[in-house]
Chain A
Amino acid sequence: MSERKIILSAKDIEVQFRVRDNYLNAIRGVSLDLYDGETFAIVGESGSGKSVFTKTFTGMLESNGKITNGSVMYDGKDLTKLVSDKDWEGIRGAKIATIFQDPMTSLNPIRTIGSQITEVIIKHQKVSADEAKKQAVDIMDRVGIIDAEKRFNEYPFQYSGGMRQRIVIAIALSCHPEILICDEPTTALDVTIQAQIIDLIKDLQKELKFTTIYITHDLGVVANVADRVGVMYGGQIIEIGTVEEIFYDPAHPYTWALLSSLPQLGVKGQELSYITGTPPSLYNIIKGDAFAPRNKYALKIDFEEEPPFFKITDTHYAKTWLLDPRAPKVEKPEAIRNLHEKIASMTSKGGAYYVEQK
Chain B
Amino acid sequence: MSNKNKEVLLSVKGVDISFDVGKKKPFRAVKNANFDIYRGETFALVGESGSGKTTIGRAILRINELSKGEIIFKGKKISGKISKEDDREVIRSIQMIFQDPAASLNERANIEYCVSEGINNFHLYTDEADRIAKVDKALMDVGLLPEHKSRYPHEFSGGQRQRVGIARAMIMEPELIVADEPISALDVSIRAQVLNLMNKLKDEKGLTYLFIAHDLSVVRFISDRIAVIHLGRIVEIAETEELFKHPLHPYTISLLSAVPMPDPQIEKPKKHVVYDESKRDHSGPKPILQEIRPGHLVFGNDREMAEYEAKLQEMEKAEAEALKG
Interface of A toward B, CB cutoff 8 Å: 45-46, 160-161, 190-196, 199, 217-224, 226, 243-244, 247, 257-259, 261-266, 268, 271-275, 278, 339-340, 343-344, 346-347, 349-350, 352-353, 355-358
Are B214 and A247 neighbours in the complex by a CB distance under 8 Å?
no
In the assembled complex, the Cα of A195 lies from the Cα of B258 at a distance in Å of: 6
Contact of B188 among A191, A258, A268, A343 (CB under 8 A): A258
- Given the interface pairs A219-B262, A343-B266, the reply to whether A45 lies near B196 with Cβ below 8 Å is no
The 7 A-B pairs with the shortest beta carbon distances in the complex, nearest first, are: A220-B260, A274-B192, A272-B192, A343-B263, A266-B221, A223-B267, A190-B48
- Given the interface pairs A350-B319, A355-B253, the reply to whether A191 lies near B263 with Cβ below 8 Å is no
In the assembled complex, the Cα of A45 lies from the Cα of B187 at a distance in Å of: 6
Are A220 and B274 neighbours in the complex by a CB distance under 8 Å?
no
Is B81 located at the chain interface by the 8 A CB criterion? no
Is B273 located at the chain interface by the 8 A CB criterion? yes
Give every chain A residue within 8 A of B241 (Cβ-Cβ).
352
Closest to A260 in B: B192
Sample of 7 more A-B contacts, CB < 8 Å, known A244-B264, A350-B245, A353-B261: A191-B255, A196-B272, A220-B267, A223-B263, A261-B188, A271-B196, A274-B192
Are B254 and A224 neighbours in the complex by a CB distance under 8 Å?
no
- Given the interface pairs A217-B188, A218-B188, A274-B196, the reply to whether A243 lies near B264 with Cβ below 8 Å is yes
Is B218 located at the chain interface by the 8 A CB criterion? yes
- The smallest beta-carbon distance between B198 and chain A, in angstroms, is 11
Are B48 and A192 neighbours in the complex by a CB distance under 8 Å?
yes
Are B191 and A247 neighbours in the complex by a CB distance under 8 Å?
no
Are A194 and B258 neighbours in the complex by a CB distance under 8 Å?
yes
* B188-213 Cβ-contact flags toward A at 8 Å (1 or 0): 11111101100100000000000000
Interface of B toward A, CB cutoff 8 Å: 48-50, 157-158, 187-193, 195-196, 199, 214-218, 220-221, 240-241, 244-245, 247, 253-268, 270-275, 318-319, 322
Give every chain A residue within 8 A of B262 (Cβ-Cβ).
219-220, 222-223, 247, 259, 262, 264-265, 339, 343
In the assembled complex, the Cα of A349 lies from the Cα of B322 at a distance in Å of: 11
In the assembled complex, the Cα of A274 lies from the Cα of B216 at a distance in Å of: 19
Are B192 and A273 neighbours in the complex by a CB distance under 8 Å?
yes
In the assembled complex, the Cα of A330 lies from the Cα of B323 at a distance in Å of: 38
- The smallest beta-carbon distance between A101 and chain B, in angstroms, is 12
- Given the interface pairs A195-B272, A217-B187, A340-B265, the reply to whether A190 lies near B259 with Cβ below 8 Å is no
Give every chain A residue within 8 A of B191 (Cβ-Cβ).
261, 263, 274
